[in-house]
């Protein structure tokens, strides 16, 4: 189609002209590409905002959760400096045990925070190699004994021969330490806390069982979620980050394993870590 004043002609594309479809197609392609990029930017913005929110929450949790054990450490250090325990060997041994327990408690908290941050940023890696599962479980058990009350009857049962798995020893220690720490914390009146290592159906199992407060069926859906802390009148006074179980399940899955729970309110809980046996052990 043409239109114009005398001596001037302007071409106006017509829907039926061969070039019109090409122009519209290029335009639509540009719109689609811009829409795709804007959507990608929006998603990236949401991801960054979520990371910032998680980091802020982690910092708040760190300042809150570390305050308790730090106060205990400062109190005992002050008494040691003042000579309160001078020439009292038995009391000194008890103080050293408490300080060591609080140091381990803070170490576990810091580990949870750092590992959760790495996980959120996609930087968490595991070093899978054949290990004897009894060793990292034993290390976690010894840590738990330091923070357990006298009313807690901790026990560890393991085979007399190596249980060889493909796993990251440090991360297995973190998982089992989290499970034992929870078992002790959520058994405020004491009671047995049993840790068992065994081989079953071609997999290695670590079970941590307690007879503590337990978890109601309705609350179990948030057990392994980030910051998924379940609060009830019975446990409101117990400190926790809501990261331990979330991190433990993620670490288990990164090693080709699983972490599951069976629990009943008022009757205790059993958490089970399953890991693949090393090829030689499985064969």
pLDDT, tens digit, for every residue of 205-225? 999 999 988 888 888 888 888
Helix, strand, coil % over all residues of the chain, rounded to 5: 55, 20, 30
CATH 3.30.70.20 given to domain 129-282: no
CB half-sphere exposure, 67, CA atoms < 13 A: 10
8: its two tokens: 């001037």
DSSP 70-112: HHHHHHHHHHHHHTTTTT-HHHHHHHHHHHHHHHHHHHHHHHH
Statement: residue 283 has pLDDT above 60: no
Q: Which CATH architecture has domain 46-121?
A: Orthogonal Bundle (1.10)
pLDDT, tens digit, for every residue of 80-105? 777 777 667 777 777 777 777 778 77
pTM over the 0.85 mark: no
pLDDT, tens digit, for every residue of 35-66? 888 888 778 777 666 656 666 665 666 655 66
Choose the weakest-confidence range: 92-96, 151-155, 243-247, 274-278: 92-96
Question: Domain residues of the chain, as ranges?
Answer: 46-121, 129-282
Provide the pLDDT for residue 136.
Answer: 97
Q: How far apart are CA 138 and CA 127, in angstroms?
A: 19
């Amino acid at each position: 189609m043409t239109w114009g004043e005398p001596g001037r002609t302007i071409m106006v594309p017509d829907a039926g002209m061969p070039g019109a479809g090409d122009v519209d197609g290029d335009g639509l392609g540009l719109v689609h590409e811009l829409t795709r990029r804007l959507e990608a930017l929006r998603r990236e913005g949401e991801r960054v905002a979520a990371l910032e929110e998680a980091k802020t929450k982690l910092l708040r949790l760190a300042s809150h959760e570390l305050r308790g054990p730090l106060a205990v450490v400062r109190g005992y250090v002050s008494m040691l400096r003042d000579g309160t325990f001078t020439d009292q060997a038995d009391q000194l041994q008890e103080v050293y045990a408490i300080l060591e327990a609080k140091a381990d408690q803070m170490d576990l908290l810091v580990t949870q925070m750092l590992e959760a941050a790495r996980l959120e940023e996609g930087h968490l890696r595991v070093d899978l190699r054949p290990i004897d599962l009894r060793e990292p479980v034993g290390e976690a058990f010894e840590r738990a004994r330091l923070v357990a009350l006298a009313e807690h009857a901790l026990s560890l049962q393991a085979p007399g021969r190596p249980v060889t798995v493909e796993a990251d020893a440090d991360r297995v220690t973190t998982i089992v330490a989290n499970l034992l720490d929870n078992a002790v914390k959520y058994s405020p009146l004491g009671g047995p806390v049993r840790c068992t290592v065994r081989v079953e159906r071609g997999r290695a199992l670590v079970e941590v069982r307690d007879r503590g407060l337990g978890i109601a069926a309705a609350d179990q859906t948030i057990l392994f979620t980030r910051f998924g802390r379940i609060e009830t009148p019975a446990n409101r006074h117990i400190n926790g980050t809501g990261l331990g179980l979330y991190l433990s399940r993620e670490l288990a899955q990164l090693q080709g394993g699983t972490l599951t729970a069976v629990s009943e309110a008022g009757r205790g809980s059993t958490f089970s870590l399953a890991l693949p046996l090393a090829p030689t052990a499985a064969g």
